[in-house]
Amino acid sequence: MHAAESSVSEADSIPVSPARPSVGAYAAVLAECSRLLGERTAAQLEALHDHLLREVQGAVRETYDALRSDVFSELLRTLRQHGPVAAEAFPSHFQRVSRERMARSARSPATSRERIGTRVELSLLDDKVFSESLAVRTQGHILASPCEDELSQLRARVARMFDEDAVDEMRNPLAPEAVAEALKHACWTLECSDAAREALFIQATRLLAPTMPQTYRALNEYLDERRVLPRLRPHVRRDRVRALTRREAAPGATADLVKRLVAPASSQGASPPVGAQGGNVSPVVLDALARLQRGEGEVELGGERFCVDVAAAETMNVLRALLDAGLARQVGALDRVVIDVVATLFDLIFDDERVPEAMKGLIGRLQLPVLRLALVDHDFFSNREHAARRLINALAQAAATWDGEVTTDCALYRVAEPLVQRIQSAGGSELGAFVDALRRLETFLAEQDRIADEKAATLTTALSAREAQEIARGIAAARVAPHVVDERLPVTVRDLLRDWWSAVLADAALAGGEDGDAWQDALATMRDLVWSVQPKSGGEERQRLVRMLPGLLARLRRGLDDRRMPEAAREAFFAALVRHHAKAIKNDMQAPTTAAPAVAAPVASPQAIGHDGLDELHRGDWVEIALEAGQRRAVRLSWVSPARTLFLFTNRQGARALALTRGELARRFERGEALLIDDEPLMDRLVADVLEAYRPQPAGATS
């Protein structure tokens, strides 16, 4: 395509790494990987069979729960009778799961998202399917937890074979969740109850998990041989740099210079001569720094030679090295403070544990460009909206909230690295290079947020429906509760109200609210039922009961039919109700010596929610959530239900979604399993801290 034919100009495009081969070129490699993973996992399952028997036998002896003991006993008999059936069935099931995921990957992204969204939404509405899907995801996490390093490499390789920046785990044919899904199907081939199959699924996963690193290492070795990303670049590592240093001999003078740095430009008056404290840095100094920035290893300045390996900027503070080599002698006092402050900022960035190592290396390459900009534009220190500050903030925040390890092969790095390279190559001190890079990065991150929100939107309808159902159930339970605990009522009536009529009330509340006709009718029916079985004190009450019964029975039958109460149970209830009415008419219904107090259950409505601090959470906030095996993930609050009882979180890439009830989220915060990520931008915090450190301290204070 000619440049004139492109619908997106070069200036508006986001630079990424060169295009990679399509999945078709790797179809045979993926098929072989799938075969290897299936066969090796099956072999491990067969080798673990005797261990599994001992585990199940121990569970039979040690459990005090009669039902669980029966389940494990049934499983033990089945395993002894049929042997390692799951191991034998696993390869074929894994091949099918793998093929389904490959077929899913072949579709367009939009179609794939629609299919995934529809499947998840249906699962949310179908409790059995939802429970099974959740079990597969949970066991998939257990299989993945011991082999994050191996999976990090494998995911990068699979993404390359798919010709994508990052592969969605739902479409990854080699993912641990695919193994868990196939294992679940294999366990369900056993001729035993679902409870025993589920117990086998959980026990087998737990025993299989420690063997998975070896299996995934074998896959990576095979892909190495096939030259699919044969050499992954190592993560950037660096030694701890020196802490904040103070180089100025006169603290009072330094404080005055810092005030000039953060003062508005209009208040500084005329510019002083070059080399004085005014801070007009010499063009010769700027030119020397520009040449170092572009990769010249050595420059001469003021009769002194300065050597910098630009590549070392990823792992060390090159500004400190320049200061140590005598750069401070070539500039005025104010510019010396500028250099020292910028160097200290990068010291702190390198030491910040919240910034991943790979991103520290990328930000480190901006040392010379940021220094040159700060020397000519002191607005860098006082303006929070400065493009250079915002660019570093965006890089650090995106990396800190990236799901999974930030490596030089992840999508974020592959988008950001060309932007940094452009700034380095420009060699000028113009702000425009940073503005352009910031715009491109924010475009990429906004698209990531859009995709995540789009995927989350496929769940929100179902979650809203669930919230409405839960609120309706809570309202119904509150109305039924006083009668359920009233021991003066027959047990038959109390059981019906608790088990069936509360559901009728919930349906009515969901359909039209508490002002609707259905709710009023169901509530009146419950009141009439309760009154009908109470002792009748005179002829007038007996006559009222006789007149009421036909309509009451008809309304009860209609409501119970709507809830599909089994016919046998329904007829047994109505037979018992006849006896209760006969007793009520004879006025011989016996009351207990003490009546149980009528205690209403709390209504699960927005008004009943306690002050747990969660109302301070807003859409777009980032929270660090503790997962299985001690891992922690940064997730973004993508949606809050209308009544704020459900919170939906997604990762930055939109590949994972986590829905938590208000109570569960509050408990996680209380236990420290959820932490609100500080939203103060990195550079704003560091600039404030560094400038504060340069201010004179009160007499007697320690430095």
Q: What are phi and psi of 622, to 5 degrees?
A: -105, 135
Query: Which of the listed residues 371, 401, 431 is the one where a domain comes to its end?
Result: 401
**Residue 462 domain-assigned?**
no
Same domain? For 61 and 128 the reply is yes
Q: Is 157 helix (H, G, I), strand (E, B) or coil?
A: helix
**Quick one: angle between helices 27-47 and 194-208, nearest 10?**
100
| Per-residue confidence (pLDDT) for residue 603, from 0 to 100 | 36
| Per-residue confidence (pLDDT) for residue 47, from 0 to 100 | 93
Question: Which structure tokens are listed for 506?
Answer: 């919930």
Query: What does the alpha-carbon distance between residue 191 and residue 83 come to, in Å, rounded to a whole number?
Result: 12
Of 47 and 138, the one with more pLDDT: 47
Same domain? For 98 and 195 the reply is yes
Query: What does the alpha-carbon distance between residue 142 and residue 177 come to, in Å, rounded to a whole number?
Result: 9
Residue 53 contacts residue 76 (beta carbons within 8 Å): yes
Of 420 and 690, the one with more pLDDT: 420
Which of 475, 486, 467 minimizes the C-alpha distance to 516? 475
Same domain? For 583 and 639 the reply is no
Same domain? For 63 and 209 the reply is yes
Which of 405, 239, 387, 402 minimizes the C-alpha distance to 314? 239
Same domain? For 522 and 624 the reply is no
Question: Which structure tokens are listed for 433?
Answer: 């290079």
> How much is the average pLDDT of 536-560?
89
Beta bridge partners of 624: 634, 675
Residues whose CB is less than 8 angstroms from the CB of residue 442 and which lie 6 or more positions away in sequence, other chains included = 394
**What confidence tier does 64 reach under pLDDT thresholds 50, 70, 90?**
low
Same domain? For 395 and 338 the reply is yes
| Per-residue confidence (pLDDT) for residue 666, from 0 to 100 | 85
Query: Which of the listed residues 377, 401, 425 is the one where a domain comes to its end?
Result: 401
Residues whose CB is less than 8 angstroms from the CB of residue 450 and which lie 6 or more positions away in sequence, other chains included = none
Which of 339, 402, 384 minimizes the C-alpha distance to 683? 384
Q: Give the rounded distance of the alpha carbon of 253 from its chain centre.
A: 49
Question: Which structure tokens are listed for 480?
Answer: 């039924």
The burial class, CB within 10 Å (0-12 / 13-18 / 19+), for 385 is exposed
**Residue 102 domain-assigned?**
yes
Instruction: List the CATH number of the domain containing 661.
Output: 2.30.30.140
| Per-residue confidence (pLDDT) for residue 642, from 0 to 100 | 79
Query: Which of the listed residues 530, 562, 596 is the one where a domain comes to its end?
Result: 596
| Per-residue confidence (pLDDT) for residue 13, from 0 to 100 | 35
Residue 385: domain span: 251-401
Residue 679's alpha-carbon distances to 113, 327, 544, 621, 682, in angstroms, are 30, 36, 67, 8, 9
Same domain? For 635 and 492 the reply is no
Question: Which structure tokens are listed for 4?
Answer: 């004139």
Q: What residue has token string 């390198």? A: 350
- E strand or H helix at 635: strand 632-640
Same domain? For 586 and 613 the reply is no
Query: What does the alpha-carbon distance between residue 666 and residue 647 come to, in Å, rounded to a whole number?
Result: 11
Which of 544, 543, 545 minimizes the C-alpha distance to 533? 545
* Amino acid identity at 603: V
Residue 550 has pLDDT above 50, yes or no: yes
Q: Is 406 helix (H, G, I), strand (E, B) or coil?
A: coil
Query: What does the alpha-carbon distance between residue 574 and residue 557 come to, in Å, rounded to a whole number?
Result: 9
Q: DSSP alpha helices (H): ranges in 294-366?
A: 318-324, 333-351, 357-364
Same domain? For 591 and 628 the reply is no
> How much is the average pLDDT of 74-79?
91
Looking at the chain, the whole-number percentage of residues with pLDDT higher than 90 is 19
Of 210 and 646, the one with more pLDDT: 210
Residue 283's alpha-carbon distances to 169, 265, 323, in angstroms, are 53, 20, 18
Residues whose CB is less than 8 angstroms from the CB of residue 541 and which lie 6 or more positions away in sequence, other chains included = none
Same domain? For 275 and 350 the reply is yes
**Residue 368 domain-assigned?**
yes
Question: Which structure tokens are listed for 481?
Answer: 């509760």
Query: What does the alpha-carbon distance between residue 535 and residue 328 come to, in Å, rounded to a whole number?
Result: 100
Residues whose CB is less than 8 angstroms from the CB of residue 374 and which lie 6 or more positions away in sequence, other chains included = 338, 341, 342, 380, 381, 388
**What confidence tier does 134 reach under pLDDT thresholds 50, 70, 90?**
low
* Amino acid identity at 62: E
Residue 277 contacts residue 248 (beta carbons within 8 Å): no
| Per-residue confidence (pLDDT) for residue 120, from 0 to 100 | 33
Same domain? For 201 and 274 the reply is no
Residue 381 has pLDDT above 90, yes or no: no
Q: What is the DSSP string of 120-136?
A: HHHHHH-HHHHHHHHHH
Category of 354 on φ-ψ map: left (φ > 0), alpha (ψ -120 to 50) or beta: alpha
Domain count, the chain: 4
Residue 20 contacts residue 229 (beta carbons within 8 Å): no
Which of 105, 244, 224 minimizes the C-alpha distance to 163? 105
Q: What residue has token string 């986001």? A: 14
Task: Tell me the HSE value of 6 on the side-chain side, using a 13 A CA sphere.
Answer: 9
| Per-residue confidence (pLDDT) for residue 589, from 0 to 100 | 44
**Residue 602 domain-assigned?**
no
Same domain? For 625 and 574 the reply is no
Per-residue pLDDT reduced to its tens digit, 654-663: 667 778 888 8
Q: What are phi and psi of 640, to 5 degrees?
A: -125, 135
Residue 611's alpha-carbon distances to 603, 616, 663, in angstroms, are 16, 10, 11
Least trusted range by pLDDT, from 64-68, 383-387, 405-409 = 64-68
**What confidence tier does 693 reach under pLDDT thresholds 50, 70, 90?**
low
**What confidence tier does 208 reach under pLDDT thresholds 50, 70, 90?**
very high
Q: Give the rounded distance of the alpha carbon of 53 from its chain centre.
A: 37
Q: What is the DSSP string of 225-261?
A: HTTSS-SPPPPP--PPPP------S-HHHHHHHHHHH
Residue 642 contacts residue 623 (beta carbons within 8 Å): no
The DSSP secondary-structure symbol of 638 reads E
| Per-residue confidence (pLDDT) for residue 269, from 0 to 100 | 44
**Residue 182 domain-assigned?**
yes
Query: What does the alpha-carbon distance between residue 431 and residue 370 come to, in Å, rounded to a whole number?
Result: 10
Least trusted range by pLDDT, from 111-120, 301-310, 396-405, 637-646 = 111-120
Residue 348 has pLDDT above 60, yes or no: yes
Residue 526 contacts residue 501 (beta carbons within 8 Å): yes
**Residue 431 domain-assigned?**
no
Residue 262 has pLDDT above 70, yes or no: no
> What is the average pLDDT score of the chain?
76
622-626 and 632-640: which strand pairing? Answer: antiparallel
Helix, strand, coil fractions of the chain, as percent rounded to 5: 65, 5, 30
Least trusted range by pLDDT, from 15-29, 80-94, 192-206, 371-385 = 15-29
Of 222 and 682, the one with more pLDDT: 222
| Per-residue confidence (pLDDT) for residue 185, from 0 to 100 | 93
The burial class, CB within 10 Å (0-12 / 13-18 / 19+), for 666 is middle
Pick from 42-51, 129-138, 152-161, 630-639 the range whose average pLDDT is largest. Answer: 42-51
Query: What does the alpha-carbon distance between residue 627 and residue 634 come to, in Å, rounded to a whole number?
Result: 10
**Residue 416 domain-assigned?**
no
Task: Tell me the HSE value of 612 on the side-chain side, using a 13 A CA sphere.
Answer: 19
Q: What are phi and psi of 473, to 5 degrees?
A: -65, -40
Q: Is the dihedral of CA 443, 647, 501, 569 positive or negative?
A: positive
**Residue 633 domain-assigned?**
yes
Question: Which structure tokens are listed for 698?
Answer: 């009160």
Least trusted range by pLDDT, from 104-108, 265-269, 301-305, 539-543 = 265-269
